[in-house]
Copies of this chain bind each other. A is one copy, B any other.
Amino acid sequence: MQIAILLYDRFTALDAVGPYDVLGRLPGADLAFVAVEPGPVRTEQRTLALTADKALSEVPHPDIVMVPGGFGTRDLFDDEAIIGWLREAHEHSTWTTSVCTGSLVLGGAGLLDGLTATTHWSCYDALAGTGAIPIADRVVEHLDRRIITAAGVSSGIDMALRLAELLVDDTAAMAMQLMIEYDPQPPFDSGALTKSSDEVITRCAEYSALRS
């Protein structure tokens, strides 16, 4: 079972690594981080690089395609190497998936036309611009179209557990949840726009502007 996680300049690390530490541990998983060219790829924060071990051309037909989000997604719409790979890969994949603004790239490749999909809460309009119908669910799946999109950043963990169920069984998904001790106990309840005060939303925008 070949799993390809796409890297590109200015991706969000947690979008990619949450699913990695769930899916890569499944039996038979042959997981690779892929990019246009192999080598280190910097996150949007710039203070970390993850290594892409393989070029896109080496992994043309993975069973699972995973596209993380990040500020860099905006530069991918005209990147024919990535968009072309994604279209071709989706022709053959079992599941084509995204986390956060990774769905904008799926949309940019024409894979979400007329489909409900999700993304980071700040990017519903951008997602709609690709032809998708944005909804605020945490994980949105179209089993008939083999496409699953997840909401912002940390939601990739929830999606990966669902994928583990689809790929193996519910015991496998629960075993992975136990392995990563995913028994969330956040000290606040501010993880969604509808749960956040104006003060928190303003602060979030300030911090985001610092880093984008």
Whether B14 and A32, one on each chain, are in contact in the complex, defined by CB atoms closer than 8 angstroms, is no
Which A26-66 residues have C-beta < 8 A from chain B?
Answer: 26-27, 31-33, 40, 45, 47-51, 53
Which one, A73-81, A105-113, A124-132, A198-206, is touching chain B? A198-206
Instruction: Report the bound CA distance from A208 to B45 in whole Å.
Output: 32
CB distance from A59 to the nearest CB of B (A): 12
CB distance from A3 to the nearest CB of B (A): 9
Decide: A50 near B53, CB < 8 A? Known: A154-B157, A195-B183.
no
Interface residues on A, range: 35 or more
**Copies of this chain held together in the complex:** 2
CB distance from A190 to the nearest CB of B (A): 4
A90 in the interface (beta carbon within 8 A): no
For A178, list chain B residues within 8 Å (CB): 121, 190-193, 196, 200-201, 204
CB distance from A14 to the nearest CB of B (A): 4
Decide: A152 near B175, CB < 8 A? Known: A27-B210, A161-B188.
no
Q: Which residue of B lies closest to A45 (CB)?
A: B24
Whether B207 and A176, one on each chain, are in contact in the complex, defined by CB atoms closer than 8 angstroms, is yes
A172 in the interface (beta carbon within 8 A): yes
Whether B181 and A152, one on each chain, are in contact in the complex, defined by CB atoms closer than 8 angstroms, is yes
Interface core residue of A100, A178, A203 (most chain B CB under 10 Å): A178
A9 in the interface (beta carbon within 8 A): no
Q: Which residue of B lies closest to A151 (CB)?
A: B181
CB distance from A31 to the nearest CB of B (A): 5
A177 in the interface (beta carbon within 8 A): yes
Return the 10 tightest CB-CB contacts between A and B, nearest first.
A152-B181, A183-B191, A174-B190, A184-B184, A175-B203, A153-B180, A14-B21, A49-B51, A175-B204, A17-B17
